[in-house]
């Protein structure tokens, strides 16, 4: 069972942010499929990573609850959230509401 009622729409949208490359090896008769994120999504992930690194540099100040602090800080970061929504809305003609965009954003942050 899918975790969200609009799972198919979200899946299509996220799929449009990536490129699929299939490589076939003749010697072994095998096929490898690589999913490569697009430049906008890659830029978003690099920005996310830089924020996480900056937060972890403050580990002495933040103490043992650093992971909760990092997650909460990223979830409430309005510029990061806006960057993500802009990428989602410009990637395809599929329309998602703020609730669905927020759902995907929260999952990306949680997984990272």
20 vs 4: which has the higher pLDDT: 20
pTM beyond 0.75: no
Residue 50 has a pLDDT of 92
Residue 1 has a pLDDT of 46
Q: Under 8 Å CB-to-CB from 60, ≥6 apart: which residues?
A: none
Say if CB 100 and CB 4 are below 8 A apart.
yes
Say if CB 61 and CB 45 are below 8 A apart.
no
10 Å CB burial of residue 13 (0-12, 13-18, 19+) is buried
Confidence of residue 2 (pLDDT cuts 50, 70, 90): low
Say if CB 47 and CB 54 are below 8 A apart.
no
What is the C-alpha radius of gyration for the chain, rounded to an integer number of angstroms? 17
Q: Has residue 44 got a pLDDT over 60?
A: yes
Residue 27 has a pLDDT of 92
């Amino acid at each position: 069972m899918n975790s969200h009622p609009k799972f198919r729409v979200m899946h299509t949208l996220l799929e449009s942010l990536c490129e699929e490359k299939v490589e076939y090896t003749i010697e072994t008769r095998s096929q490898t499929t690589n999913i490569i994120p697009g430049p906008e999504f890659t830029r978003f992930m690099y920005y996310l990573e830089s924020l996480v690194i900056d937060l972890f540099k403050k580990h002495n100040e933040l103490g043992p609850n650093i992971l909760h602090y990092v997650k909460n800080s990223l979830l409430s970061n309005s510029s990061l959230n806006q960057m993500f929504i802009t990428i989602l809305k410009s990637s395809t003609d599929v329309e998602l509401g703020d609730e669905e965009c927020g759902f995907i954003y929260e999952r990306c942050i949680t997984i990272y």
